[in-house]
Amino acid sequence: MSDNPVEPSRRSRREARTESARPSTVRIDDLAIGSDPAEPSPSARSTREERTSTRATQARVGGFIGTWKPLVAAAAALVVAVVVGLLAGVAFDGAAGRSVGSVLASIVVGGTGLGLIARARPAGFLRLRGLDVLWALVLGAVLPFVAGVAAGSVGWPALAALSPRWLLLGVAAPFVVVVLLTVFAIGFVYPAALSYARTLLSANNARVVAAAVAAVAFAVIPIVFAGTVSGMPVALLVGLGIAASVFVGLSGRFWGPVLMGTVFTAVWVALSVAGYVLA
């Protein structure tokens, strides 16, 4: 029996095994040396990150912050606050009624600001720096005199009496009003207006518009309830609102205007008490 038919068969099996063990030239050419086929390329990662950022921005703008809805909520809060303050002031006469009304109106808008400030605040808005404290102390101490001169001051302020009623409405009430108005106008209205204005304007113009809107929001209640027990002229509170809006527009932070308003009110109250004692 001849071995010739068997030899080609063995050779064919060896060649098949050799071909199967040989690396594919196409696969080597297609894959980059040292790269992981499962790892996306840098361009793919960049595109994915851009799409994620775009979706996040669209979700933010399409929701609450970044639209006109927070501004409508702020306007509605002001309307409700004024109505509540006017109704409450009916139970009291004159300056006492206006003081009570301004406190209640400030509580309404301040509560609105506290409830929405967490949603409206931009990054770094609640930080406090030493320079903010310095400017707040200086401006808070100087502004009562500057605003008084600009408004044509009526003279040295003085409380009409130091009874518990006058101390409550003439000393404590101004602090409550100023702090709550600052929380509302600076803590909520300003960042809400800034977020919306940035969708329409450049960054600098958006800050200017947001500061103007915040100043108007701060001034509404003092104008409606002018002539309170504290004797603080409307021009002083309007000036404080403008200064606080400029402060937050330049610094981008919240606590400086709050401290400035507190010092501002403390200076006015101290002058009023001193005016009563020296009268």
The residue assigned the tokens 């720096």 is 129
Q: Domain for residue 242, yes or no?
A: yes
Question: Does residue 24 fall inside a structural domain?
Answer: no
What's the pLDDT at 111?
Answer: 93
Helix-helix angle 234-251:190-197, to 10 degrees = 50
Q: Does residue 186 form part of some domain?
A: yes
The confidence score (pLDDT) of residue 46 equals 46
Cα 114 vs. chain centroid, distance in angstroms?
A: 11
Q: What is the pLDDT of residue 222?
A: 94
pTM of the model: 0.73
66 occurs within a structural domain = no
* 98 found inside a domain: yes
Q: How far apart, in whole angstroms, are the C-alpha atoms of residue 90 and residue 18? A: 103
* pLDDT for position 168: 87
62 lies in some domain: no
What's the number of domains the chain is made of?
1
pLDDT at residue 25, as a whole number: 46
Question: Alpha-carbon torsion 162, 164, 166, 167, what sign?
Answer: positive
For residue 91, what are the domain limits? 73-278
- Structural tokens at position 149: 């001169």
- In order, the DSSP letters of 62-130 are TSSTTSSHHHHHHHHHHHHHHHHHHHHHTTS-HHHHHHHHHHHHHHHHHHHHHHHHHHH--TTTT---H
**What integer pLDDT is reported at residue 263 of this predicted model?**
95
Both tokens assigned to 201: 């304007």
Structural domain includes residue 5: no
Residue 59 counted as domain residue: no
pLDDT recorded at residue 269: 85
Mean pLDDT, 10 residues at a time, over the chain (279 residues)?
50 57 46 45 48 42 70 94 90 86 95 84 85 94 73 58 78 93 95 92 93 96 89 87 94 94 91 77
Q: Cα 150 vs. chain centroid, distance in angstroms?
A: 29
Tell me the torsion sign for CA atoms 255, 259, 262, 268. negative
